[in-house]
Amino acid sequence: MERLVNFRDNQEQQADDHNNLQAYVRESFDDLVFDAIENNRAYAGFDSTATATTEVTSQPGRLYANGAVHIQLDAVKTELFTYLPTVTKKKVVLVTWASETGELQVEGRDFLINVDTGETQPKSVPMESRRVANVSPRAGVESPDPQLPPIADTELAFAIVTLNPNGIESVEMVAENRLPRLSDVADQLKLIIDWKEITEPRITTIASDITNLANQVNGVANNRDLFNLFADVARLKEIAELPDDYAAYGADRFLTTDESDTTNVNFLAKVEEGIRFSDANAGLSELNVFSAFDPNQSITNGLLLPAYDNVTRLNITGYSGEVSISQYGYQTVSVVQKMMSRQRIRYGTTYTYCTNSAWWRSGSYDPVTHIFTRNGETFLVLSGDTSKNHQMIRLEQFWVDTYEEPYWDYVVNNLSITGALVAQSFLNSQDGWLTQVGFYLTRKAANGNITLTIVETTNGAPDLTKAVMSATVDYAKLKVYPAQTLVDVPPTYLKAGTRYALVITTNANHWIAMASGNSYAQGTFFYSTDGAFYQGDLTKDAMITLNFASFDNPRVVITMQPLQLDGGIAAIDINADMIVSAACQLVFEVQVNGNWIPLSSVNTQALIGLPPLLPLRAVFVGTSDIMPGLKLAGSQVLVSRPRTVLKHISTECQRVSTTTVRVQVRYENWNTANHTIACSLLVGAAFDTVETADVTETVVESDYAIHRTYTFNLAAAHDSFKIVFDGTTSSALDVFHVSERVDVEFA
């Protein structure tokens, strides 16, 4: 021990003397732990396991905090029900933190109150003080990719619990915070000693081996060969999504702005399937019809369809009884309503074809979030692959991106509905727009609305996470059998060959009319007891009617608001929710010199001359049963004209320290007579020193593309730099783009 308490014969002893016997021992242990074992924080014990759906039990353990050892003598049960996520996942960290208490082990003790008579008086006093290792949970934020929550500097994490809506998914101990045992350290040291005995004789001769190897490979490969090899490896790294600083070479295909310094005040470019000239002027607007009184159109909730009438496609009749909806119990269910998928059409001289567009399919990039985004959306990926059903067309001056599913779950609307649920499934035999839903009530409660929801089915049962339409029927509109309650619903596209279900929800005691099993609907009547599990009834069907749109003409032209831009239009970018089935077409046309020209690959001359005003119309082509649908609300039309100068600056490229850098670039839609481009490096602590290329080599690949290789011999060694491109064009209607950059550093 560092300090001792001295006792002598016939010496008075005080309480502090006895307390110091322990205090000095504790002090010595604290110093020993701090100096030789752990001077920060670590834990031992606290092994944690899930002992119930939402309960984690942590075994007794010890917290080492700045030399002091704190203990938890009992197993601690942590209830996590209140932290359960609603939809996705959440991480909860179990932490331990130190405190001291002197109020433990309260016992009765006699205290001397009269020395002469020896009289004593009993008192209850705490006989133990303890350093306690407390255990508490800290919850993160719910997310599809949940992150750890912040914890205080005085706390130490020892277990990470991952929660999903059903309970505990996993419990992981935080190994890096665990106090290592000396026996384990000794075992690891023995392995290192054994390894040293084996490898040391070989390492001592490595200098000679390297010299012999250098002599053997001398002249076998030159720098050009190595550059080509490194360039190919850089391309492979780009596919594998490995950071460029993993080695002395990197690549960028400019499909995203991840490696573009867009915050730099000198940045003057845009990244859109390559580096392109940024906009000199641009105008953003929403698609809208020219006249609200056009008899050829129908607009409901911002959805534009050609004019139509309602016709019945499915009708379940033949009254055979009734069912009380409320008998199945009230509940609150979460409904995920999928929204219309979208199409993006880009047209103009700035949309030159770029070979790197094929990389959207490589699996290294997300085409949905980088192509279909608008208004700063954050896409919620509920299921599936982001590239699934994404169709791409890339032609000169004409690009189209289409998501082929009519409704997608990347953008959703979360609803909460309370009441009792019943549902009737049906097989939709042909494509069409559902416009009206009818049902029969045999008894009507004193009050209470009804919510109608059309959902897709999973394994034949209604799936509330795949809703495509939801509408509320006001109580005043409800009718009693034999009268039918016929409701106008937002036009909803139903796909041929798909099984859907009509879910009826109410918190009132309404009774619905039933028919004997109707083979025409090819469906089943369902009721729900917990919002997720549906029980089917094969003996009867709900009496319902489904009316679809019947269009007046197979080809309808609707005039839209014209496009305009001061200084002239060189490019048109339409991003809108659309549903266009295989039997239909939706074509946008602009009027130039009295002629209507479609925005398609058929004619790429519509914007020659930079017209400042373009009349626009939409041509709907289909049949009397099915037509395209265009969502005006939330759509975007961007008209723009590019600059004639370009400046692109990369983010910091962190490489090995080198004096030689070689950059290879591919330029496409290149016209030597009209285009210029230069490549330089920014080096230095503030990237304020410009290095120009010492050697520039050009290889003409075709009439469309060239490769240029720039070699930089730097004045001093640098381990980081930025790559700059400065380009010009003689006309805003004749532009090029940079499709790929590969850089290699030679130490």
CB 280 within 8 A of CB 568: no
CB 422 within 8 A of CB 443: no
Report whether pLDDT(245) > 60.
Answer: no
Ramachandran angles phi, psi of 33, nearest 5°: -65, -45
Q: What is the mean pLDDT of residues 484-508?
A: 93
* Residue bearing the bigger pLDDT, 558 or 26: 558
Report the residue count for the chain: 747
Report whether pLDDT(697) > 80.
Answer: yes
Q: What is the mean pLDDT of residues 541-554?
A: 94
208-to-195, 198, 205, 214 alpha-carbon distances in Å:
22, 19, 6, 10
Other beta carbons within 10 Å of 458: 12
- Fold agreement (229-278+644-746, 282-305+552-642): yes
Place of tokens 């469309």: 704
Q: What is the mean pLDDT of residues 326-355?
A: 81
Helix (H) or strand (E) holding 325: none
- Weakest mean pLDDT among 45-49, 327-331, 570-574: 327-331
Ramachandran angles phi, psi of 150, nearest 5°: -70, 145
Q: Where are the alpha helices (DSSP H) in 364-459?
A: 367-371
The residue extents of the domains of the chain are 38-177, 181-214, 229-278+644-746, 282-305+552-642, 314-339+410-434+443-463+492-543
Structure tokens at 32: 């020993």
pLDDT for 499: 93
Place of tokens 């599913």: 405
Burial of 726 (0-12, 13-18, 19+ CB in 10 A): middle
pLDDT for 469: 92
Q: Is the dihedral of CA 539, 544, 549, 552 positive or negative?
A: positive
Confidence of residue 9 (pLDDT cuts 50, 70, 90): confident
Report whether pLDDT(644) > 80.
Answer: yes
Ramachandran angles phi, psi of 210, nearest 5°: -65, -40
Report whether pLDDT(227) > 70.
Answer: no
Structure tokens at 564: 């305009």
25 forms beta bridges with: none
pLDDT for 657: 86
pLDDT per position as a tens digit, 345-369: 888 878 888 887 776 766 666 777 7
178 forms beta bridges with: 43
Structure tokens at 37: 């074992």
Q: How far is CA 157 from the centre of its chain?
A: 27
CB 507 within 8 A of CB 418: yes
3-class secondary structure, 83: helix
Report whether pLDDT(626) > 60.
Answer: yes
Report whether pLDDT(394) > 90.
Answer: no
pLDDT for 411: 65
Ramachandran angles phi, psi of 516, nearest 5°: -65, 155
% the chain with pLDDT above 70: 89
Q: How many CA atoms lie within 13 A of 164 on its CB side?
A: 5
d(CA 676, CA 678): 7
Report whether pLDDT(551) > 80.
Answer: yes
Non-local CB neighbours of 471 within 8 Å, separated by 6+ positions: 437, 451, 452, 453, 487, 489, 490
pLDDT for 682: 96
Ramachandran angles phi, psi of 400, nearest 5°: -135, 130
Q: How many CA atoms lie within 13 A of 596 on its CB side?
A: 12
Place of tokens 């049906």: 426
Q: Is the dihedral of CA 17, 22, 28, 31 positive or negative?
A: negative
693-to-67, 680, 684 alpha-carbon distances in Å:
58, 6, 16
d(CA 336, CA 416): 9
- Weakest mean pLDDT among 320-324, 348-352, 504-508: 348-352
pLDDT for 402: 78
Q: How far is CA 671 from the centre of its chain?
A: 40
Report whether pLDDT(223) > 70.
Answer: no
Q: Where are the alpha helices (DSSP H) in 151-274?
A: 182-203, 206-217, 223-239
Q: Is the dihedral of CA 295, 296, 300, 303 positive or negative?
A: negative
d(CA 327, CA 689): 78
pLDDT per position as a tens digit, 445-476: 989 999 999 999 988 888 888 889 999 999 99
pLDDT per position as a tens digit, 59-85: 999 999 988 999 999 999 999 999 999
Question: CATH class for domain 229-278+644-746?
Answer: mainly beta
Whether domain 38-177 has CATH 2.60.40: the reply is: yes
- Weakest mean pLDDT among 113-122, 425-434, 703-712: 113-122
Helices and strands in the chain: count of H runs, count of E runs:
5, 47
d(CA 333, CA 530): 8
d(CA 657, CA 718): 5
Whether domain 282-305+552-642 has CATH 2.40.30: the reply is: no
Report whether pLDDT(86) > 80.
Answer: yes
pLDDT for 228: 67
Mean pLDDT across the chain, nearest whole number?
Answer: 87
Select from 195, 626, 274 the least CA-distant residue to 429.
Answer: 626
Select from 672, 677, 590 the least CA-distant residue to 277.
Answer: 677
53 forms beta bridges with: none
Select from 46, 77, 70 the least CA-distant residue to 177.
Answer: 46
Select from 79, 43, 49, 77 the least CA-distant residue to 61.
Answer: 43
d(CA 610, CA 619): 24
The answer to whether the predicted template modeling score (pTM) of the entire model surpasses 0.85 is no
* Residue bearing the bigger pLDDT, 394 or 314: 314
pLDDT for 215: 66
Structure tokens at 389: 């059903």
pLDDT for 737: 95
pLDDT for 378: 62
In 316-356 the beta strands, taken as DSSP E runs, fall at: 319-324, 331-340, 342-348
Burial of 741 (0-12, 13-18, 19+ CB in 10 A): buried
Report whether pLDDT(210) > 80.
Answer: no
DSSP 1: -
CB 158 within 8 A of CB 43: yes
Confidence of residue 206 (pLDDT cuts 50, 70, 90): confident
3-class secondary structure, 533: coil
- Weakest mean pLDDT among 245-254, 375-384, 611-620: 375-384
Report whether pLDDT(392) > 80.
Answer: no
Q: What is the mean pLDDT of residues 707-720?
A: 93
Confidence of residue 224 (pLDDT cuts 50, 70, 90): low
First to last CA, the chain: 57
Structure tokens at 415: 């609803």
Residue 585 sits at the vertex; the CA angle it makes with 584 and 590, to the nearest 5 degrees, is 160
Tell me the one-letter amino acid at 27: E
